[in-house]
Amino acid sequence: MLEEQSPGKPARKCKEPELDSTEYFLRQADRIAVANLRGNHKLATRLSAEYANARKIVIEGQSN
């Protein structure tokens, strides 16, 4: 989910467009890096776990 913010209004959630697996993994890696740079290691850990789980699913899907 992306957050959009207009001046003077609170951020609102909006759906991200569907991504292919390569775009998803690149975007997720960017989010992990940003979270680490900002010192939000709890978020980075959660994102890393989601990334690893998604990778596992994609790899298993390709081997079948």
Q: What is the pLDDT of residues 4-25, one digit of tens each?
A: 455 666 555 556 567 677 888 8
Q: Please give the model's pTM, rounded to 2 decimal places.
A: 0.61
Indicate whether 10 belongs to any domain. no
Indicate whether 11 belongs to any domain. no
Mean pLDDT score across all residues of the chain: 79
Our count of domains for the chain comes to 1
Indicate whether 29 belongs to any domain. yes
Give the Cα separation of 59 and 64 in Å (integer).
Answer: 9
Half-sphere exposure of 62 (CA within 13 A, CB side): 7
Indicate whether 13 belongs to any domain. no
Give the Cα separation of 39 and 63 in Å (integer).
Answer: 37
